[in-house]
Structure 1
Amino acid sequence: MAYQAGIPEEPSVLLHSITTNIQKITLLTSELRRAVSLLGTEQDTSQLRQTLQQKQQQGNHLAKETDRLIKGFAALPVGPDQRQRKLQKERLLNDFSAALNSFQKTQREAANKEREFVARVRASSRVSGGQPEDSFENAPPFQRDSQVQAQAEAITEEDLRLIQERESAIRQLESDITDINDIFKDLGMMVHEQGDMIDSIEANVESADVNVQNATQQLARAADYQVKYDKKTREQEEEERISQLAVNDGVNQFIKSQNSVILAS
């Protein structure tokens, strides 16, 4: 995985940013859940839906940014703390996946409530448009028909506006849910790579252990050889020294004998 431009190269900085984003997503999910619980109630206002949409978009942005940062963390150059970083990445993937699961679940709940609202409005529009008020029954037929038609048209226009607004929100939610699904695919690939990396690290560790053992054995053999060599060298030197002493002694004896001969003559 290639390193991505624009991402801090310091592992601790990346780790802090990712952890902070995950916490923000978790907090946003709680706020979204409270807002979603009000959909379809008397507190279901235009302002509520606007707030819900803003927080939902903010959550999606954080999810995409966190996905990018985790990819950057995974692509950092190999260093002496690689094993620790592997464990940190595993924890980040688990925490991020859990936060995304809760966030996407809340998105789906919001979409379902919007669909239920649209269904109710459509049903209400059909009922209201097909049943005139009792107060119109005593009016002349032509006047009653005119009033009923005007009422039905007014209701239909308002209902249509509500339906269009909610269906637009549903489409946006579905698009955002798809984006989160794409992030889950990225996480799945990173988990797979994590497994490969673990295997590679273990293989490298095993290889390093074997190399260390071989090196230790070689050093032991070399040390043993050196001891034997030093001992043999010392023995040879001692033999040579004794031999040299013997030669010197023989030479001295010869010189003494020659001197005696000379003095005698």
Structure 2
Amino acid sequence: MAAYGRGEFDGFSSYQAGASRGSEGGSEFNRLSNTVASNIQKITQNVSQIQRLVGVIGTAQDSQDSRDRVHQLTHYTNQLAKETNVDLKSFARLHVSPSDQSKWKMQKDRYTEEFSNALTNFQTTQRTAAEKEKASVARARAHSSTTKYPFEDEPQEDFTSPGFSQTKQVLQMEEDVDLEMIQERENAIKQLERDITDVNHIFKDLGMLVHEQGDMLDSIEANVETAQIQVHEGNKQLASASTYQKKSRRKKCIIIVILLVVLIFLILIIWAATKSD
């Protein structure tokens, strides 16, 4: 079985490194947004490729090479899903400016939905691969058991013939190879099951993130309602102040008019008294 890390999947690591280097110059908002979007797209592409490879398991086109590719690509995609989960949580907890709030929320909601859909398809494919691998191993073990003692019905005297010893040695070697391959497949199945468990943990994180963001949105809505109440109260206070100011001006005008009337009255009295003298 091929070892993880190299081969035709080497481009996977290069893809990740390139995405990271290309986004270093931008802001944290743009870096995380670009990384999450690219990773989700890559996960979706990988799942489609894994589905095609899993489809040939147990058919005439099946081969150890195709199974190795399934295991390698599944493991890589699992690691990418973990990294995407971390980046998405960081993106969802960013402190963005008011001008970016609408864009941030729209992208966060879209990424969460797309990532969840990609994980669902990935886990379904993982389980299909594990079930097919288990069925294949069971058939291989059954076949190994039936071919382990092919000479049980042969006469006892034939066991001492020169050809028998050589044939038995060849069959033993083939049996050892078959058992080693079966063991490798069983180990691959265990890795698949561990990867499925990892995806389950990611789903739990995603659920907690959605709940957390829901609480945050409730808090934002409460703050908006409080701000609206405060604005309303402020408007009422401004209206009251305006009314008070109008009343104050009216009182001043009335007082001025009264003073003018009194002043005119006094002037008339003084003028009349002066004229009579």
* Structure 2 residues not aligned, in runs of 5+: 1-23
2:96 is the counterpart of 1:94: no
Identify if the C-alpha distance between structure 1 residues 247 and 66 changes in structure 2 by more than 3 Å, giving closer, same or farther: farther
AA paired with 2:57?
A: L
Identify if the C-alpha distance between structure 1 residues 89 and 156 changes in structure 2 by more than 3 Å, giving closer, same or farther: same
1:60 to 78, 99, 108: 78
> CA–CA distance in 2 between the matches of 1:78 and 1:177?
34
AA paired with 1:25?
A: I
Is the Cα contact below 8 Å between 1:29 and 1:103 reproduced in 2? yes
2:9 counterpart residue number: none
Q: Deviations over 1:12-44 (max 9, x none)?
A: 443333222212211111100001111223333
1:3 counterpart residue number: none
2:10 counterpart residue number: none
1:157 counterpart residue number: 176
1:231 to 227, 250, 253: 250
2:187 is the counterpart of 1:168: yes
Is the Cα contact below 8 Å between 1:9 and 1:76 reproduced in 2? no
Name the SS for the 1:57 alignment partner. Answer: helix
Deviation at 1:77, TM superposition (A): 1.3
Higher mean Cα deviation, 36-45 or 115-124? Answer: 36-45
Name the SS for the 2:95 alignment partner. Answer: coil
Is the Cα contact below 8 Å between 1:25 and 1:62 reproduced in 2? yes
1:39 to 57, 70, 76: 57
Higher mean Cα deviation, 80-89 or 245-254? Answer: 245-254
Identify if the C-alpha distance between structure 1 residues 139 and 234 changes in structure 2 by more than 3 Å, giving closer, same or farther: farther
Larger Rg over CA atoms: 1
> CA–CA distance in 1 between the matches of 2:106 and 2:32?
15
1:110 to 129, 133, 137: 129
Tell me how large the CA RMSD over aligned residues is.
Answer: 2.9
Identify if the C-alpha distance between structure 1 residues 9 and 76 changes in structure 2 by more than 3 Å, giving closer, same or farther: farther
> CA–CA distance in 1 between the matches of 2:77 and 2:272?
107
Deviation at 1:138, TM superposition (A): 11
Query: How many aligned positions are there?
Result: 251
Identify if the C-alpha distance between structure 1 residues 68 and 189 changes in structure 2 by more than 3 Å, giving closer, same or farther: same
AA paired with 2:187?
A: S
AA paired with 1:39?
A: I
* Structure 1 residues not aligned, in runs of 5+: 1-5
Q: Deviations over 1:139-185 (max 9, x none)?
A: 83422753563244123211112112212211221221121111111
Give percent identity, aligned residues only.
Answer: 43
TM-score, length-scaled by structure 1: 0.81
TM-score, length-scaled by structure 2: 0.78
Identify if the C-alpha distance between structure 1 residues 12 and 226 changes in structure 2 by more than 3 Å, giving closer, same or farther: farther
AA paired with 2:189?
A: I
